[in-house]
């Protein structure tokens, strides 16, 4: 019989905690959720004030039986599920199943899985926080109601099996809206004129200055004619230094990671999907076997929106920075957490600063090492001194025209000796050196360069930039970003084109239907407002059933109205130019699980259907035939000639461009290879 029974969610977490505790304490795993709403029905009793109808999750009967047995034989049961709203709700469900009274002092939480944190938590148990639990219940019930009521509209009008969701539908809308912006965008021509200059001496290094003014007025160039006129006027101009401004610029480090910034940076720097990032982070949090230490949790809890770090972690960072880099590289920094943040946990940081990534590399998988190093370096850099740059801004006159040149050189690396944050919109930083110049100094013109450019449409979202947008707009919380994007990818509402998120035809149709009929639900402001209400429930300022009630009745009226209006409305079908080879009718484009296909409009009399082959308006670079768009099993696009393999072997990952010449060395999709099965030989030791 165990004195204490501790229940956590995962076996990995259980194994890590076991080694911190004595033999009289048993640690077991609930394997995540054990109760949930039923899949086969709404599972919310509207008449009984929205009471959820929870059931035990199928397949967990034996586990529940075992947990009950262990709990009955233990003197004290502690529920140590994750320290967030979802973890609190799981603890509440466990308490219900194990018949632990609601006011029992049975809940323990820790932000990091270390001996100190776990032992401190056991010494300071508390009651289950019903405010946090209710906030999670409110989210679960509201999302179930929205999905259960809106999805059938999609089944009737588009295709069975589709789903709508409060947060996922808004995420799809953002991606569709961005695609429409890109399609409507009209590029505008603009020009820049650069003078390539140097000091008037032999072998002097050149630098670049850009034309900015004419007669002390800002100049903008939109045509080649304007450029040619200026080039004539400055052909024989003398370039004289008019002004020099020298200064020092500081660049401060980024704060330690929140869930959102970790997901963004892992996407940009490591190429990780959100799902992969969270999976790897979970393993690092729950515990990895390290020589001489056993299983240790390497990072703090990975679902957080706070940039706060503990005093102990701050001290550990100080010692490590001074040891590795010296006193002048350390600076004690505090970061302001976003006003909307829950701030329940610290930022994501290493639990043991002395465990530098390279010292435990052999204990980690390649992915674990990469993410741990990213988290470790970001945290340490957040407590380092600013990088210092010497900057110079030079103004140069060329008759009535003014050019400007800006340069900077790195004077002190500071935190940049360890880590530099990357941003979607920035290219690698260039350090431009400008020679020592004097006012009124005459410069030598080496050449003039005129560059034509066009304004560009807004960029498509990547996983990283979509997470950033969701966070900025207040949609979702740290625990929801990854499942939201994973869901809309799996539903085929969006797909990836390299790293960019692109709406599918199905996603566009579904979004149009939802926006036209449920504009309040598929709305950024409404979704953000609901998140704020969940926060108020968590803080005890609102009652969760009241929030659901205020939402439900107007929403139900809207659903009934939409169903009546759409009853006799048939979605406009796009007629193709392909005749049905069974009855002769012109086939229409329909939407299936894997995208568009052709179907006979005579259904059910004629059930003929066939794949829709999409083509692009660029001819095959090799033979001039039509180029078809195909997809791999992982839904990646590739381009192939309609004559392949009969008379043309053109195939490429890259979309051909008009006028592009055929390149036989261009990248081609790899052909399927069959893996040979290998059998491992068993060695039997002789006794």
Just list the catalytic residues.
301
Instruction: Tell me which long-range contacts 533-539 makes (C-beta under 8 A, separation of at least 24).
Output: 533/138, 534/135, 534/138, 534/139, 534/477, 535/135, 535/340, 535/342, 537/131, 537/134, 537/135, 537/138, 538/85, 538/131, 538/132, 538/134, 538/135, 538/342, 539/131
Element of type H or E holding 412: strand 401-412
User: Under a CB-based contact definition with an 8 Å cutoff, are residues 485 and 171 in contact?
Assistant: yes
Residue 125 per-residue DSSP state: -
> What is the Cα–Cα distance from 276 to 666, expressed in whole angstroms?
30
> What is the Cα–Cα distance from 242 to 244, expressed in whole angstroms?
7
> What is the Cα–Cα distance from 386 to 399, expressed in whole angstroms?
41
C-alpha 23 chain-centroid distance? 42
Question: At 383, is the secondary structure helix, strand, or coil?
Answer: coil
Element of type H or E holding 134: helix 130-157
Phi, psi for residue 214 in degrees, rounded to 5 = -135, 125
HEC per residue, 3-17: CEEEEECCHHHHHHH
DSSP structure string for 203-272: TPPPEEEEEEEETTEE--B-SHHHHHHHHHHTTT--EEEEEEEEEEEEEPPPPPB-HHHHHHHIIIII--
Q: Which candidate, 306, 312, 248, 266, places its Cα nearest to that of 117?
A: 312
> What is the Cα–Cα distance from 508 to 514, expressed in whole angstroms?
10
User: Under a CB-based contact definition with an 8 Å cutoff, are residues 294 and 352 in contact?
Assistant: no
Element of type H or E holding 110: none
User: Under a CB-based contact definition with an 8 Å cutoff, are residues 581 and 608 in contact?
Assistant: yes
HEC per residue, 472-525: HCCCCCCCCHHHHHHHHHHCCCEEEECCEEEECHHHHHHHHHHHHHCCCCCCHH
Neighbours of 108 (CB within 10 A): 21
CB-count burial class (<10 Å; 0-12, 13-18, 19+) for 420: middle
CB-count burial class (<10 Å; 0-12, 13-18, 19+) for 414: buried
User: Under a CB-based contact definition with an 8 Å cutoff, are residues 411 and 248 in contact?
Assistant: yes
Task: Give just the sign of the alpha carbon dihedral 647, 652, 657, 662.
Answer: negative
Q: Which candidate, 583, 635, 623, places its Cα nearest to that of 605?
A: 583
């Amino acid at each position: 019989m165990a004195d204490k029974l501790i229940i956590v969610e995962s076996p990995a977490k259980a194994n890590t905690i076991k080694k911190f505790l004595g033999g009289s304490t048993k640690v077991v795993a609930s394997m995540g959720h054990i109760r949930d709403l039923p899949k086969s029905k709404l599972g919310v009793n509207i008449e009984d004030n929205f009471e959820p109808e929870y059931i035990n999750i199928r397949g967990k009967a034996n586990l529940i039986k075992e947990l009950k047995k262990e709990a009955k034989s233990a003197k004290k049961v502690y529920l140590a599920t994750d320290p967030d709203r979802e973890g609190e709700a799981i603890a509440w469900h466990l308490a219900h199943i194990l018949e632990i009274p609601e006011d029992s002092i049975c809940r323990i939480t820790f932000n990091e899985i270390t001996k100190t944190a776990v032992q401190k938590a056991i010494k300071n148990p508390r009651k289950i926080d019903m405010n946090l639990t209710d906030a999670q219940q409110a989210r679960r019930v509201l999302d179930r109601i929205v999905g259960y009521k809106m999805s059938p509209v999609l089944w009737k009008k588009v295709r069975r099996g589709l789903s709508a969701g409060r947060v996922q539908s808004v995420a799809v809308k953002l991606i569709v809206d961005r695609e429409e912006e890109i399609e409507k965008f009209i590029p505008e021509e603009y020009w820049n004129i650069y003078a390539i200059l140097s000091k008037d001496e032999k072998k002097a290094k050149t630098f670049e200055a850009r034309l900015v003014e004419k007669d002390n007025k800002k100049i903008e160039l939109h045509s080649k004619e304007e450029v040619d006129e200026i080039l004539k006027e400055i052909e024989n101009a003398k370039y004289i230094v008019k002004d020099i401004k020298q200064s020092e610029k500081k660049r401060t480090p980024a704060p330690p990671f929140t869930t959102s910034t970790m997901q963004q940076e892992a996407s940009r720097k490591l190429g990780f999907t959100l799902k992969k990032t969270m999976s790897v982070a979970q393993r690092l949090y729950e515990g990895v076997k390290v020589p001489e230490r056993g299983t240790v949790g390497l990072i703090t809890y990975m679902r957080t929106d706070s940039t706060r770090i503990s005093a102990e972690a701050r001290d550990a960072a100080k010692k490590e920075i001074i040891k590795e880099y010296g006193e002048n590289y350390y600076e004690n920094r505090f970061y302001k957490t976003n006003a909307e943040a829950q701030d329940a946990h610290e930022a994501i940081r290493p639990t043991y600063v002395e465990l530098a990534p390279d010292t435990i590399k052999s204990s980690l998988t390649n992915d674990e090492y990469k993410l741990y190093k990213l988290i470790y370096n970001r945290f340490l850099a957040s407590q380092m001194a600013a990088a210092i740059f010497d900057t110079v801004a030079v103004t140069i006159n060329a008759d009535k025209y003014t050019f400007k040149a800006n340069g900077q050189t790195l004077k002190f690396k500071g935190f940049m000796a360890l880590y530099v944050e990357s941003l979607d919109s920035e290219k690698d930083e260039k350090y431009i050196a400008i020679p020592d110049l004097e006012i009124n100094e005459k410069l030598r013109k080496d050449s003039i360069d005129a560059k034509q450019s066009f304004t560009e449409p807004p960029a498509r979202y990547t996983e990283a930039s979509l997470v950033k947008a969701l966070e900025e707009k207040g949609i979702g919380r740290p625990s929801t970003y990854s499942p939201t994007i994973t869901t809309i990818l799996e539903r085929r509402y969006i797909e990836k084109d390299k790293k960019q998120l692109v709406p599918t035809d199905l996603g566009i149709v579904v979004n149009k239907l939802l926006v036209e009929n449920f504009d309040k639900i598929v709305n950024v402001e409404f979704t953000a407002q609901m998140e704020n209400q969940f926060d108020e429930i968590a803080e005890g300022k609102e009652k969760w059933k009241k929030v659901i009630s205020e939402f439900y009745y107007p929403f139900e009226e809207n659903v009934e109205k939409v169903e009546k209006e759409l009853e006799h409305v048939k979605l406009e079908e796009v007629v193709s130019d392909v005749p049905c080879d069974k009855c002769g009718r012109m086939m229409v484009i329909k939407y299936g699980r894997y995208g568009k296909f052709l179907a006979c409009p005579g259904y059910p009399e004629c059930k003929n259907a066939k794949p829709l082959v999409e083509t692009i308006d660029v001819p095959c670079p090799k033979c001039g035939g039509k180029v078809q768009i195909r997809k791999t099993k992982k839904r990646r696009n590739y381009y192939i000639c309609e004559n392949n393999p009969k008379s043309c072997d053109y195939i490429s990952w890259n979309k051909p461009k008009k006028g592009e010449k055929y390149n036989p060395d261009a990248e081609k999709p790899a052909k399927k290879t069959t893996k040979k099965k290998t059998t491992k030989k068993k060695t039997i030791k002789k006794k």
